[in-house]
Amino acid sequence: MFGFSLEAGAVLLRKAVAAFIMTGCFNGEMFISNDDVTLAATTFPIPMFQIPSLLVSLRLRPLIGEDLYCTEGLLWLALSFRDFYNNLSLYEDDDDFFGIYGSADLRRIRFVLVNNRTERFWDQQMDLFTIDRGRMIAPEFHYVYNVVVGIPSGIFGSLIMNLSRFGMTVSALVTETQVTFTVGNVKIVLRKELEECIIGGAVGENPVSLVFHIHYSNTMLRSSFLSKRVWLLGQSNGSSVMLNCPVGTLGNLMFYVG
Give the pLDDT score at 33: 87
Question: Quick one: how far is CA 93 from the chain centroid?
Answer: 23
Q: Which stretches within the chain are classed as H helix?
A: 10-22, 81-88, 153-163, 217-224
Q: What is residue 223's three-state secondary structure? A: helix
Task: Compare 44 and 7 and report the one with higher pLDDT.
Answer: 44
Give the pLDDT score at 54: 92
**Helix H or strand E encompassing 10:** helix 10-22
Single out the residue of 85, 88, 91 nearest to residue 18, CA to CA: 85
Q: What is residue 213's three-state secondary structure? A: strand
Give the pLDDT score at 67: 75
Tens-place pLDDT, residues 161-180: 999 999 999 999 999 999 99
Q: Give the rounded percent of residues in the chain with a pLDDT score beyond 90.
A: 58
Would you say domain 143-256 falls under CATH 3.20.20.70?
no
Q: How far apart are CA 254 and CA 231, in angstroms?
A: 9
Asked whether residue 11 carries a pLDDT value surpassing 80, the answer given is yes
Which option is the CATH number for 2-139: 3.10.150.10, 3.30.70.100, 3.90.470.20, 3.30.43.10? 3.10.150.10
DSSP letters spanning 37-80: EEEEEEPPPBGGGTB---EEEEEE-PPPSTTSEETTSEEEEEEE
The two beta strands, 229-234 and 241-247, are: antiparallel
Q: Which of 40-49, 118-127, 154-163, 173-182 has the lowest mean pLDDT?
A: 118-127
Asked whether residue 238 carries a pLDDT value surpassing 70, the answer given is no
Single out the residue of 112, 114, 102 nearest to residue 76, CA to CA: 102
Q: How far apart are CA 216 and CA 109, in angstroms?
A: 30
| Amino acid, single-letter form, for residue 219 | T
Structural domain spans, the chain? 2-139, 143-256
Domains 2-139 and 143-256 share a fold: yes
CA distances from 196 to 57, 155, 189 (A): 26, 7, 9
